[in-house]
Amino acid sequence: TPKKTPKREFSSCLNNLLQQGRTVFNLKLEGETCLYDDHLPCSTEQAQQKIIIIRPIRHGAQRIGSLVVIKFGGAFNLDALVLLETALSCATIELLKRESKNNTKEIYKQTLARTAIQALSFSEKQIVDKLISELNHKDECIIIARKLAKSLNVSHSVLICALRKLESAGLIKSRSLGAKGTHISLLNPYLRSSI
């Protein structure tokens, strides 16, 4: 398994600047505290004079990230600012690609859930409704198929057919536990809103 990189905690000073959500150019920060970590000292005299640029990355009116550039010593010159704009464009494109992929996956899941529900009969939709109430805002539950079918006045075979349809659509996963019942795992959270 790949090793997870530990989440980087920025210093309180940098966090405060990032939360403002505005562009900051050539801001001079002095002090011995490192901008990346409150507990690390900046070792050299030059490093204690930090010049910072923060450019929010926006998609429409929404801020989706920030580009932070820190220089030790003198201010950023015009060439550095041009390079920063290029880096900002690249970072924006990359973040938008990721956001687009995530949105596409979510839209696919929603469409899949809606289409699967539309293909069910009235009795099968009742079963799904009851199943969702059995899940009770959790992602898994154990049902006793015969009792559930009896409570809805449907046959056991109709219930099994409904479960198979949901499973083949990738919305749930069911596993028989023998006399204990059937373990149901919700794989697609949009099943709840589609019924």
Are 89 and 117 members of one domain?
Answer: no
Give me the chain's average pLDDT, please.
82
**Residue 179 is part of which domain span?**
112-194
How many domains is the chain partitioned into structurally?
A: 2
Say whether both 82 and 133 belong to one domain: no
Residues 29 and 86 in one domain: yes
CA dihedral 177, 182, 183, 185 (to 10 degrees): 150
Give the tens place of pLDDT for each residue, 81-132.
888 888 888 888 888 888 888 888 889 999 999 999 998 999 999 999 999 9
Q: Which of 64, 95, 126 is the last residue of a domain?
A: 95
Quote the tokens at residue 83.
Answer: 């390079």
Let me know if residue 101 belongs to a domain: no
CA dist., res. 30 & res. 20, Å (int) = 19
Cβ pair 97, 80 in contact under 8 A = no
Place of tokens 């011995």: 32
Whether 34 contacts 11, CB under 8 Å: yes
Write down which residue in 95, 129, 146 finishes a domain: 95
Is a pLDDT exceeding 70 seen at residue 13? Answer: no
**What is the pTM assigned to this prediction?**
0.54
Place of tokens 């019942």: 181
Relative to beta strand 62-72, strand 49-59 is: antiparallel
